[in-house]
Structure 1
Amino acid sequence: MQDIKKFFWLEKFDCFSITGKDARKFLNGITTSNILNSENKVIKTCWLTPNGVLRALIEIIDLERNLEVIILAGKTDEIIDYFNQIIFPADDVLLSEPFLINRIQEIDESSSWRTYLPIFFKKEDKEFEIYKNKLNLLNPNDLKLWKINQAIPTFEMEINGKNNPLELGLKDLIDFNKGCYLGQETISKINNVSSLKQEIRIWKSIDSNFYLDAEDKNLYINSAKDISVGKITSIFKSDSQIKGLAMIKRKYLEEGSCLFSEIFGKIIINKSVGSIFL
């Protein structure tokens, strides 16, 4: 039986450490996952605005004596500044200066990016080079396409000051039973009344006539542009395909339906294994 070739995602991310006896309690109050009672060594979570809008996608490494916060998508300086501002004088919490960390994770096309446990190297030393050279790493272009297919949100694209984590298919990164956290009231209300206005989707152009000089990122029900049904947030272009991510109004979410973009012509929308909209 022939071995199936495995592929890996390697990328550098900003990271900072949080130490002190109140570190877990502190992070638990400002992120969406349960930091206090999690059995996971790597916790994926969200940082929200008070109104429940996604500001950053974060991974937390539990090293027992300290927690390391990896910014998968977000603005590192903004996060550190905010965290420092809300540390009370009585809190035993200390943030380090940011540093870069190498994150490596196995990936496949049919499983969510949250399936596989990543490993980390702080330094590009001999051990890191030996490990890296044994892996089939995705090149930057293939990695970008894989992230599109996974619907992984990108800062200033899907994470744009408007979209909440439920709309972005990140509901599984939210603990609805843990109590208060930043943005909790709004997120609980949206979840309890099932009031999502839009959902993230992958789109793919099926038209050969493009108007790349157009700037209209809206998606429409037809070429007459009678009704706006959503907005393109990310674009991936290669010689063989053009696809990306878009936020689509829920009542126009029929799987496989054709929509229209002024830039890319007819497009088809599909779900992603990387979101909870399965």
Structure 2
Amino acid sequence: MSKINVKKDQIWLEKFDCFSITGKDSKRFLNGITTGNIVNLNNNVLQTCWLSPNGILKSLLEINCLENKLDVIVFVGNTSEIRKYFNEIIFPSDDVLLSDTFSINRLQHVDDINSWRVTQPIFFHNKDKEYAFYNNNPNLMNTNDLQSWKINQAIPSLDSEINGKNNPLELGLADLVDFNKGCYLGQETMSKIRNVSSLKQEIRVWTAKDRVINIESDSKKIYNNQNKEKTVGYITSIYKSDSLTTKGLALIKRKYLDKENSFFSDKFGQISIDKSVGSTFL
């Protein structure tokens, strides 16, 4: 994904769960669990996925490679579930040790037209002097702006896009999957989807054109028109801003994306479907 000229600089500062992995087998251990190439990672930050054996996205992780340890930042996921699984597959012969969970501040300079994955984040603790400096910066995104920005970036959320059903390729995270490295959890399914082009749906940003919301409807289905002739996808995330604009993320069947459809939702009326800023579907 190539970087475009920055249009509007913003600061994304957020606290995440983190734990460290130490020992001479740390890189090999993590390389066999996640989709990224951890073995060749040197003093850098790598975004990667933790999948189920059948290729379903369970968690989005960032690996911060430091001199004598790997910090695993739980970007999106259930920290307890991740740690439980990691601990269960450490063999007695493995030189691998997991630390206790701690909180880490993650900071990244971002903008409205580039993917969140084109710039490297930095990490620090509350006691570090950088925290006070950046926490009072005028370009720091507030909670509402950050949530809206994440929608435009198609950053998945736990229990929404990461719901035990979707794979990372459907969610526009194909660049976080290394198809050339050795075996890892879920590799067979990822290779099959890629090789036979069997991707059936893609993540998209939707925006409601009507301000009237049908509060009685709980339907998340998206139809190809107001007559609801065909179900073409379903809503995964909803965000309602202070400006009365309602938008979110949805998974849409690929065969309907290139057609001139007037998409419709029972709950939100007519909606528009757009490509996200941050996924590989650009």
* 2:56 alignment partner in structure 1: 53
Greater displacement, 243-252 / 117-126: 117-126
Q: How many residues align?
A: 276
* 2:229 alignment partner in structure 1: 226
* 1:263 alignment partner in structure 2: 267
Does 1:248 pair with 2:248? no
Q: 1:83 aligns with which of 83, 86, 89?
A: 86
Task: Return structure 1 stretches of 4+ with deviation > 6 angstroms.
Answer: none
CA separation of 1:183 and 1:248: change in aligned 2, threshold 3 A: same
For 1:274, give the aligned amino acid: G
Cα displacement string for residues 77-104 of structure 1 (whole angstroms, at most 9, x for unaligned residues): 0000000000000000000110100001
Q: 2:109 aligns with which of 82, 106, 111?
A: 106
For 1:243, give the aligned amino acid: K
Question: Gapped runs of 5+ residues in structure 2?
Answer: 1-5
Q: Give me the whole-angstrom Cα distance separating, in 2, the residues matched to 1:10 and 1:38.
A: 24
- Coordinate RMSD, CA, aligned: 1.6
Where in structure 2 are the equivalents of 1:39-188 lying within 5 Å? Answer: 39=42, 41-134=44-137, 136-188=139-191
Question: Gapped runs of 5+ residues in structure 1?
Answer: none
Secondary structure in 2 matching 1:15? strand
Secondary structure in 2 matching 1:258? coil
CA deviation after TM superposition for structure 1 residue 45, in Å: 0.2
Cα displacement string for residues 127-159 of structure 1 (whole angstroms, at most 9, x for unaligned residues): 421343245110000000000000000010000
CA deviation after TM superposition for structure 1 residue 39, in Å: 4.8
Asked whether the equivalents of residues 256 and 269 of structure 1 are also in contact (C-alpha less than 8 Å), the reply is no
Q: Give me the whole-angstrom Cα distance separating, in 2, the residues matched to 1:213 and 1:28.
A: 47
Asked whether the equivalents of residues 200 and 253 of structure 2 are also in contact (C-alpha less than 8 Å), the reply is yes
* 2:17 alignment partner in structure 1: 14
For 1:132, give the aligned amino acid: N
CA separation of 1:214 and 1:127: change in aligned 2, threshold 3 A: same
Q: Give me the whole-angstrom Cα distance separating, in 1, the residues matched to 2:201 and 2:130.
A: 45
TM-score by length of 1: 0.95
TM-score by length of 2: 0.94
For 2:180, give the aligned amino acid: N
Instruction: Report % sequence identity.
Output: 61
Greater displacement, 245-254 / 46-55: 245-254
Q: Give me the whole-angstrom Cα distance separating, in 2, the residues matched to 1:126 and 1:44.
A: 26
For 2:218, give the aligned amino acid: E
Secondary structure in 1 matching 2:106? strand
